[in-house]
Structure 1
Amino acid sequence: MASAEPSLEQMVAELWDREQIRQCLVRYCRGVDRFDRALILSAFHPDCLDEHGKFVGTPEEFVEWALGQHGAAHLSHQHCLLNQTVEIEGDTAHSETYFMFVCMNRKGKPLTLGGGRYVDRLDKRDGEWRIAARVTLRDWSMMDEIPDMDDLTSFTSTRAILPEPVKAFMNAGRGPARDTSDPSYDRPLTVDPSRRDGYLEMMAKTEKV
């Protein structure tokens, strides 16, 4: 028996949800590029965990880390959103959004260019969609040599000077895969809280070096 076609009201409601999810991602990118802390935080639920390469933490912690990194390394930058898939089930959505970032550097090569995916679980709370869990994946970067795809530090611009504890921490995390083991297939998407504990331990070690 064929399933009933969704009503016009249902289709419009889903389109509105999808647009609100897209706008959430747009707010995030604009906030990072403009160093607008409030705008970045508006894209996340406060209890979100973001696994973001060598960083894992809360939205408040992410803002301090990300703006500190960009401010120290770059004169300007853009985060551009590309393909997006969204699966909505009730008040939970899973989104995979391709991104490309371009940075004008303070030192070394003038330009850094790379791309990856924001893999998000979003929750609709009090009528508002925000990110509840995120895994940020790097898929490519402009490089002078072929990278080791099993080494997640290969895509970082600072890979040559990363301390060993940082490299070990990054390579213990989630990376991209060309099969269904990729984090974008996780249902529900979660970030293991022990990864944040490991991040804090790693930071304590590197601060002593």
Structure 2
Amino acid sequence: MDVDLAALQTLLDKEAIREVALRYARGIDRHDDELLLSAYHPDASDDHGSFIGSSAAFVEYANRVHARNWVCHQHYITNQVIDLHGDTAHCESYFLAVLKRPDGVCDMVGGRYVDRIDRRDGHWAVAERICMVEWNAEAAPGAAAFDASIFIAGSWDRSDPSYTRPLRVERPPRDLSLAP
């Protein structure tokens, strides 16, 4: 069987570009400056509506604003279209963000990241980004079907379990569905 090397390289490049979006989402949710910055080239520009500027300034802004307004948040990357031309890609990534306020109300935001992502020295990263918000809503806290406090809580630093290598479950076994 002959391998189409050009098609294989296209697949590898597109996967590396998808990883850029995932590094961004994980970096912003964990307040991991190094990881978040790795999604951008050092000279990148970001237009995030209330913030327009360099990638380094955006990281500082995002951490400050997220910590001031919300107690936790998650950014999800969904549909992606990648238009690849050599060492430049134009990428449109749909996103959903859910951000929980201290009073329990959740802010929900849907939109798209429209990016120019360049490969420099073999490294794909955002060179230019426009964040487009297309809808937002509030979700009031309600009676949940379960007690979220029984789960391990995340943290905005490297003490978060997602950084633990190797990962180990250390809490004792339990099955609360058997409780009276």
User: TM-score over 0.5 for the alignment?
Assistant: yes
1:143 Cα deviation from its structure 2 partner: 5.6
User: Higher strand fraction: Structure 1 or Structure 2?
Assistant: 2
Q: What is the deviation of 1:37?
A: 0.2
Post-superposition offset of 1:45: 0.5
Give the corresponding residue for 2:85. Answer: 89
Counterpart amino acid of residue 129 in structure 2? R
In the alignment of these two chains, the number of paired residues is 137
1:51 aligns with 2:47: yes
Q: Paired residue for 1:141, among 136, 142, 147? A: 136
Partner of 1:62: 58
Q: Distance in 2 between matches of 1:27 and 1:114?
A: 19
Larger CA Rg, structure 1 vs 2: 2
- Percent sequence identity over matched residues? 42
1:41 aligned residue:
37
* Structure 2, unpaired ranges of 5+: 140-180
Match of 1:142, SS?
strand
Structure 1: which 4+ aligned runs deviate by more than 4 Å? Answer: none
CA contact (8 A) 2:111 2:132 kept: yes
In the alignment, which residue of structure 2 is the partner of 1:177? none
**Residues in 2 aligned to 1:29 and 1:134: alpha-carbon distance in whole angstroms:** 14
Answer whether contact 2:106 2:138 (CA < 8 A) is retained: no
Q: Unaligned stretches of 5+ in structure 1?
A: 1-6, 145-209
AA matched with 2:108: L
Q: Give the corresponding residue for 1:120.
A: 115
Structure 2 residue 23 is the aligned partner of structure 1 residue 13: no
TM-score (norm 2): 0.74
Structure (1 or 2) with the greater helix fraction: 1
Q: Within 2, Cα distance between the matches of 1:25 and 1:46?
A: 16
Q: Please, what is the CA RMSD of the aligned residues?
A: 1.3
Match of 2:26 among 13, 27, 30: 30
